[in-house]
Structure 1
Amino acid sequence: IPVMSQWRGKFCVKLNLTNPGAVHWFLDRVESLQAHLGMEYILLEGGEGNPFEEQALRPPQALVGDKYIELMADLAASIGDSTIVTAGTRSSHRPLFVRMTPLQSDWGPTGLKAIIPSLLHHTLLGYNFLIPDAVGGSLSGDLVTDQELFIRWLEIAAFLPVISFHTPPWVYGDDQVLNLTRTYISKHQSEVVPLVEKYAEGWLLTGNPIYRPMWWLSPSDPKTFTIDDQFLIGDEVLVAPVVEKGAAQRDIYLPDGGFQWQDSRSAQVFDGGTFLQDYPV
C-alpha cells in the first residue's frame, strides 16, 4: 500500500523513485505532456520531507532521511535542464532551477526583506540558478495592491537569474509601472543575464557563487557580516536596493578588498571601505 501524504490540503501518494518502473511511467507521462502541450518548463513540487518519518514509519534504506529529495533531483535532471525543483540536497551540481520560497506581499522580513538573505543562503550552499518568488510576493495568492512594493520588488528581481510575475504590471493602470517593467526586463536581458553566464563559468571551475555577500570581498571587515540588504554579482556589481517603504535614499557600504566602486548612474567613483549615508537611489 503506498504511503499516503498531503499536498496543498489534499491527500496524495508520492512517486516511488526507487522503482524503475514507476520512474519510467512518470517520464513517459512527462514526455507525452511536453509533446501535446508544448511545455517549456516542468516544475516538480512536493519532494520536501519524508512521509515515512512524518507518520512514524520505518522507511526503506533507500529513502532514509532526505534521500527522496536527492532522488527527485536526479529525476528532474533526466527531464532536462529547464526543470524546476523546490528542494535540493547534494544536488547543486545538477543543471536545475531551484524555486525559492513564496513570500508575503509586504515590506517585512517574510516579504521583500527576505529576498536577499534567501538568495545568499541558496548561493552559498551552491544553488545559483534560482527562480525567486513572483514580483510583489505570491504566498497569499492575491494580486499585489501596493504599487510601491511592486516597483521595489521588481528592482531587486531585475538583478536575479529569473524575473517572474504573479501580479501583471498593467493592473495598476499606470504607465509608469509598465514603462519601468519594460526597462527592467530589458536591463535583465542585456546586462544581468550576460553577467550570470560569465560568473556561471567561474562557478563551474572554482565553485565560487555567482551571487555573493559583502564579506566575500572583505572577509576581515566585521561590518560586512552585518549587511543583509546588499549583494554582489561576482566581484563587479554591487546591488543595494531600497527595502523601506517611502524611502528614496539609503545607507550603502562599499566593501574594500582593494576595489573602487562607480555609481552606474552618476559615474562617480568611491574607494572601497566607504560608507555612503543617506545616499540617493
Structure 2
Amino acid sequence: MTYCNPCLAPTEDKPNRRRNMFQEAKTMGILIRDQYGQPYMVPNTAFNVGMLDLTHPDTTTWFKNILWEMADDGIRGWMADFGEGEDPIEAHNRYPELWAKINREFVEEWKASRKAGEDEDDDEIVFFMRAGFRDSPKWGMLFWEGDQMVSWQQNDGIKSTIVGLLSSGLSGYAFNHSDIGGYSGVSFPIVKYRRSEELLLRWMELNAFTTVFRTHEGNKPSCNSQFYSNDRTYSHFARFAKVYNAWKFYRIQLVKEAARKGLPVCRHLFLHYPDDDKVHKLSYQQFLVGTEILVVPVLDKGKNKVKAYFPIGEERPWVACLDRGVILESRQ
C-alpha cells in the first residue's frame, strides 16, 4: 500500500525522482492556473504545490498512467489523499467527486485488464479517501476521517473519530475509519501533543470494530508511541487484529447490505432504537456494528472501566463480552 494525491510539488532539486510530474503537468497545461495563466500554487505544510485541474480532458488519462505504473510495481492499495477543491464557489465540492471518480475508474479498468485465470489473490486493489461530497460514496471505495490530534479530546481526538464515524455513516459514507493513534502531533515549547502508549492501545481497541484496522505513525513518528514500540504494543496490536479478523464473516455481510441499502457498517443506536430517549443523548460513548454488536470503548485517560447502556427494543437478551474490568449496566 502507498500514497498519492492531486497536488504536485516542483522537484527540480530532487535528484532521486523518477519523473518530474510537476513539470509534465505544467507543460501539458493540466494544472489549475491563476489569472496570469501560471500554475496556481497552494501552501501545503512546508512547501507549495500545484493542483491538478481535474476538469481538463487530458488530466484523467495522464494521472491514470501514473496509477498504472504504481500497479505494475506491485502496489495494490493507496491513500488517495487531499482532493479538497480550491475555489469555494466553482469547484470546491465537485473536485473531490472527480478525484474519487478518476481513482475508481482506474481500479475498474485495471481489474478488467486482468487475464482470466491469472493469480486471483493478486486481483484485489483498493484506495481510500478523506475529501468528499454528495457523489463521493458512489466512486470512493473506502474513506477515512482525516488527521485527528493524538489526544483524548472530544473535538479533535479519539472521541471525535466516533462522532465523525457515525455522522458520516448517516450521510452515505458507509465504509469509514480513522488512523489508529491519530495523526497530528505538536511539539511546541509550551504546547505538546504526543501519542502516549495508553492512547494508542485504546485506539487499537476502538478501531478493531470499524471497517478498516490500520495504523499510522503520525506527522511526528519519533514523538509517538507506535505499535512496534515494545512487546506490549506488539501483543496488543496482535490481539485486536485477531478481534478484527474474528468478525470478518459479519463485516462481509454488512458491506453487502451497505451496497444494497446504504446502511453504514458502524451505526448510531437511534437507527435501530428510535423510540429510546436516552439513545438520542449519546454521541461518542457507544455505537452499533450492524445490529448485532454494541461497542462501548474506553476513551478517557487513566480509566479502566466504562458503563454500557443497553437500549430498550427487541426482546432478545444482550450477551456481554467482558474485557479488562468493564461494568455493565442495563435498564432492561
Which of 141, 146, 164 matches 2:196?
A: 146
Match of 1:51 among 86, 92, 103: 86
Partner of 2:77: 41
Letter in 2 for 1:235: T
**Separation in structure 1 between the aligned mates of residue 194 and residue 130 of structure 2, nearest angstrom:** 23
* Equivalence map 1:34-183=2 (5 Å): 34-36=71-73, 38-48=74-84, 50-53=85-88, 63-80=90-107, 82-89=126-133, 90-109=135-154, 110-133=156-179, 135-140=180-185, 145-165=195-215, 166=217, 167-171=225-229, 173=230, 175-183=231-239
Tell me how large the CA RMSD over aligned residues is.
2.5
Is 1:238 aligned with 2:298? no
Task: For 1:16, give the aligned amino acid.
Answer: D
Q: Conserved in 1, the CA contact under 8 Å of 2:174 and 2:263?
A: no
Please give the secondary structure, in 1, of the residue aligned with 2:254.
helix
The answer to whether the 8 Å contact 1:195/1:233 transfers is no
Kindly state the Cα deviation for residue 95 of structure 1 after the two structures are TM-superposed: 4.7
Distance 1:51 1:93, change over 3 A: closer
Contact 2:93-2:132 within 8 A present in 1 as well:
no
- The equivalent residue for 1:270 is none
Specify the alignment match of 1:11 in structure 2. Answer: 48
TM-score by length of 2: 0.71
For structure 2, the residue ranges without an aligned partner over 5 or more in a row are 1-36, 108-124, 188-192, 218-224, 324-328
Deviation track 1:49-88 (CA, whole Å, cap 9, x = no partner) reads x3234xxxxx7xxx54511121111112112251222211
Give the number of aligned pairs: 257
Aligned counterpart in structure 1 of residue 259 of structure 2, from 179, 204, 216: 204
Cross-structure match for 2:33 = none
Cα distance in 1 between the residues matched to 2:199 and 2:132: 30
Residues 242-268 of structure 1: CA distance to partner in whole angstroms, max 9, x if unpaired? 1122222222111122142111249xx
Identity of aligned residues (%): 24
Q: CA deviation at 1:195?
A: 2.0
- 1:264 aligned to 306, 312, 321, which one? 321
What is the CA distance between 1:30 and its match in structure 2? 1.8
- Distance between the aligned counterparts of 2:95 and 2:195, measured in 1? 39
Q: What TM-score, normalized by structure 1, do the two folds share?
A: 0.83
| Pairwise CA distance, 1:213 | 0.7
Partner of 2:221: none
Q: For residue 227 of structure 1, give the secondary structure of its aligned residue in structure 2.
A: coil
CA offset at residue 141 of structure 1? Answer: 7.5
| Cα shift at 1:212 | 0.8
